[in-house]
């Protein structure tokens, strides 16, 4: 790796004074997808609870917070196998803190307004030589000012929310001629995704993939219908023999369950060769979670790719479970129910059906139904909390009253989020093997 020349040294010993305390922050992890809807990366954003829209912590201290804590925890815990996109400013780029992250896993985003100096060009050139990648961020115009950076830039991120289709078309043509990969930012609907795809964008950042598109007359696959039936049996606390009989009718589920309980992560000393043994090993709680996750996998899921909807659903489920466990530690069933609410909150998107139609096929308690349909009650508040931290922006202002209502300290958010990210990322390989 090429030696990096730096203008400022980052001393880990001074991290406490340089980096703001994380207790007042939460971490927004915004997904970046390719044209085939596969997850390729996340942009990580630190946000202070209660700040106004756009008041991001983007100075040296904020950027240092993200990089320092991500490197300390390990990229895989936060990002899984996806790449990490990090906002950096001039001072951060010139410091040694950027070398804390592995070059093969990160993309540094440079604001279009950065002061371009000969020193900056040398610094970025050295980092590119060492294997780091760079993106030009929040671009809305192709200007001569950025030309000195272009040979060193691989990605160009465009804020599509403030541009007309004609302007976007002109901009994409200009950067495509310069052989740059284009990332459409703030893509919130399927229509926006399709529009940007037609214009030639390569990647798409936003939560458009989580928005339900209702298709009248769409039928569930046989596998999905079978999983819902099994979930209904588990909710009714049916005997294992009844559940076993239903699983055996679905060959794919039969094999998946046996493979799951025989993975090293289950810690079983002997091979499990029957469904009856598998059900005993799993127990009802893990069986219910396995079924909920299986809904998002489907028979055509590519084991080599990450489904953004699956990752979002499992992260939501775990986050809600952790929050519920912290707020009501004496009642384990509340945490289990919270996990169900989180994972099932995206079924309308998965099935392209109204949530009311889906809930007709499985018996759930009134509190769960009210949470999924109307975001009301205790579980509804937990679900809103997850949705707020997923998309900061204006929603970050809604966090303080909700945290107050839940009696959840704001300093708890960051740690609970990280635990949910790590659980979701580490869990998926086992379920893919299953």
Per-residue pLDDT tens digits for 107-129 = 999 998 899 999 999 999 999 99
Per-residue pLDDT, 304: 45
CB 203 within 8 A of CB 40: yes
Q: How confident is the model at residue 53 (pLDDT cuts 50, 70, 90)?
A: low
Give the orientation angle of helix 222-235 with respect to helix 251-261, to 10 degrees.
60
Whole-number pLDDT of residue 55: 52
pTM (2 decimals)?
A: 0.87
Query: Minimal CA–CA distance to 234: which of 275, 285, 282, 281?
Result: 285
Contact 428, 310 (CB under 8 A): yes
Q: How many CB atoms lie within 10 A of CB 379?
A: 25
379-411 per-position pLDDT tens digit: 999 999 999 999 877 677 889 999 999 999 988
**All structural domains of the chain with their residue ranges:** 12-210, 222-433
pLDDT of residue 8 exceeding 50: no
pLDDT digit string (tens) for 302-340? 544 568 999 999 999 999 999 999 999 999 899 999 999
The domains spanning 12-210 and 222-433 adopt the same CATH topology: no
**Residue 23, pLDDT score:** 60
Better pLDDT: 433 or 10: 433
What mean pLDDT do residues 150-163 have?
93
Options 1.10.8.50, 3.40.50.1240, 1.10.3210.10, 2.40.30.10; CATH for 222-433 is 1.10.3210.10
Please say whether the beta carbons of 311 and 80 come within 8 A. Answer: yes
Residue 273's pLDDT is 87
Instruction: Give the confidence band of 14 by pLDDT, cuts at 50, 70, 90.
Output: very low
Q: Which fold has domain 12-210?
A: TIM Barrel (3.20.20)
Report whether pLDDT(155) > 90.
yes
Mean of per-residue pLDDT scores for the chain? 85
pLDDT for position 298: 61
Residue 57 pLDDT exceeds 60: no
């Amino acid at each position: 790796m090429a030696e990096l020349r730096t203008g400022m040294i980052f001393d880990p010993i001074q991290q406490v004074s340089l980096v703001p305390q994380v207790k007042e922050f939460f971490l927004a992890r915004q997904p970046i997808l390719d044209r085939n809807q596969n997850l390729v990366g996340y942009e990580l954003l630190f946000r202070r609870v209660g700040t106004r829209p756009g008041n991001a912590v983007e100075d040296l201290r904020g950027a240092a917070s993200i990089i320092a804590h991500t490197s300390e925890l390990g990229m895989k815990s936060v990002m899984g196998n996806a790449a990490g996109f990090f906002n950096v400013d001039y001072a951060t780029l010139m410091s040694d803190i950027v070398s804390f992250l592995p070059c093969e896993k990160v993309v540094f985003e440079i604001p279009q307004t950065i002061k371009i100096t000969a020193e900056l060009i040398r610094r970025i050139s050295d980092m590119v030589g060492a294997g780091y990648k760079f993106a030009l961020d929040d671009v809305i115009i192709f200007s001569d000012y950025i030309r000195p950076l272009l040979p060193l830039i691989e990605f160009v991120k465009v804020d599509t929310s403030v541009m007309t289709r004609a302007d976007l078309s002109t901009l994409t043509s200009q950067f495509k001629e310069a052989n740059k990969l284009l990332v459409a930012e703030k893509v919130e609907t399927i229509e926006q995704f399709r529009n940007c795809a037609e214009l030639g964008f390569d990647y798409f950042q936003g939560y458009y993939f989580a928005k339900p598109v209702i298709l009248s007359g769409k039928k569930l696959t046989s596998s999905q219908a079978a999983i819902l039936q099994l979930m209904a049996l588990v909710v009714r606390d049916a005997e294992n023999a009844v559940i076993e009989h239903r699983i055996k009718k679905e060959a794919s589920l039969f094999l998946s369950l046996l493979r799951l309980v025989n993975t090293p992560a289950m810690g079983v000393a002997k091979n499990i060769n029957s469904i009856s043994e598998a059900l005993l090993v799993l127990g009802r709680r893990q069986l219910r979670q396995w079924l909920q996750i299986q809904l998002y996998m489907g028979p055509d899921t590519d084991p080599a790719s990450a489904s953004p909807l699956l990752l979002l659903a499992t992260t939501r489920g775990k986050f809600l479970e952790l929050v519920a466990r912290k707020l009501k530690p004496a009642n384990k069933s509340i945490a289990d129910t919270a996990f169900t609410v989180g994972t099932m909150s995206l079924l309308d998107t998965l099935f392209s059906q109204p949530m009311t139609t889906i809930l007709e096929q499985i018996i759930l308690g009134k509190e769960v139904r009210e949470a999924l349909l109307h975001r009301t009650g205790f579980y509804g508040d937990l679900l809103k909390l997850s949705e707020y931290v997923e998309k900061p922006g204006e929603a970050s202002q809604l966090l303080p009253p909700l945290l107050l209502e839940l009696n959840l300290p704001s300093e708890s958010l960051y740690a609970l989020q990280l635990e949910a990210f790590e659980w979701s990322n580490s869990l998926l390989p086992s379920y893919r093997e299953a």
